Amino acid sequence: MSERKWFEVNLLNEASEFSKITGDTVLQLKFTFDPDNYTNLGQNVSYIEGNSSNSLLILSSYIYNQKEWGKEEKHQNPIGQTGVPIIINIYADKYFYNISINEGVDPIHYSHRLPPWATNWIMASNTIIIEGVIPKSFDVITINFLHGALEKHAQVGITVFQLNITKIDVTGSYFAKGKWGNSEGYRNNLKDLVEGEKIRISIQITKVVRKDDYGVISSNEIYIFEMERQEKYSKGKEIIPLEFAQIIPASATEYISVIGLDLEGNGFIKIE
């Protein structure tokens, strides 16, 4: 396949997400995959037969004052397949990080570029990608992250997260125990969405861990929503970034449904 799939873990200083204009990335672990087949959420896909040169763990650091990444260190990706839990242990030694994946016997060593104590944020992420075409008589696009159901139902299952996109706003909520949670909403300017327009929706699932000035650690899980519009329908590639808090853990998701959008190609939802 021509496009890599990946997720990353960032240990950050003075930033809540990676940025080249503020803060340092004390350590970045980027897991890249190149499987033969990569389809829908929940499908167990082996990476053993993929191109091993594209299935890598890449380690690096970004130092803001120097405005550049350090030299990358590349290792064989120690994660063999999807659909299994992943445990990442990072131990700070005097000169190295010792990184253990799923309690592996041989840890991966990475020399400090910045002192470990500089870390005050940890971010782990992966992204759901949905590509499709605006249908005739567009009203609302609804994306449901579901547990114990194949569609939203008042008596069966849980809606872990629901995202609704209209020409007026984008809202997010959840449904559990027969009740909707509080809805978060953002106004947008999509009145010019037209039939046949191609859009690309990405929903990044991110966990951010912060240590404040008093050493107190707090954790916050969020969805970062972006929608990219095709150039010919908008003034350049328009990207709308929004954030929604996770109330029910995203890891509870077993199925994703998309309503009100004609999915492209084979209709699969991608995970990057």
**Last residue of some domain: 70, 86, 119?**
119
Average pLDDT of the residues of the chain? 75
Lowest mean pLDDT among 197-201, 208-212, 250-254: 208-212
Same domain, 172 and 208: yes
Same domain, 134 and 245: yes
Lowest mean pLDDT among 31-35, 174-178, 247-251, 267-271: 267-271
pLDDT-based confidence at 54, cuts 50/70/90? low
Q: Which domain holds residue 99?
A: 5-119
Say how far apart CA 47 and CA 227 lie, in whole Å.
29
pLDDT at site 81: 60
pLDDT at site 1: 31
- Work out how many domains the chain is built from and give that number: 2
Structure tokens at 154: 């008042």
pLDDT-based confidence at 131, cuts 50/70/90? confident
Q: Where are the beta strands (DSSP E) in the chain?
A: 5-13, 24-33, 56-63, 68-69, 73-76, 88-92, 96-101, 108-111, 121-133, 141-147, 158-165, 169-176, 179-180, 184-187, 198-211, 217-229, 239-245, 255-259, 262-263, 270-271
Same domain, 248 and 134: yes
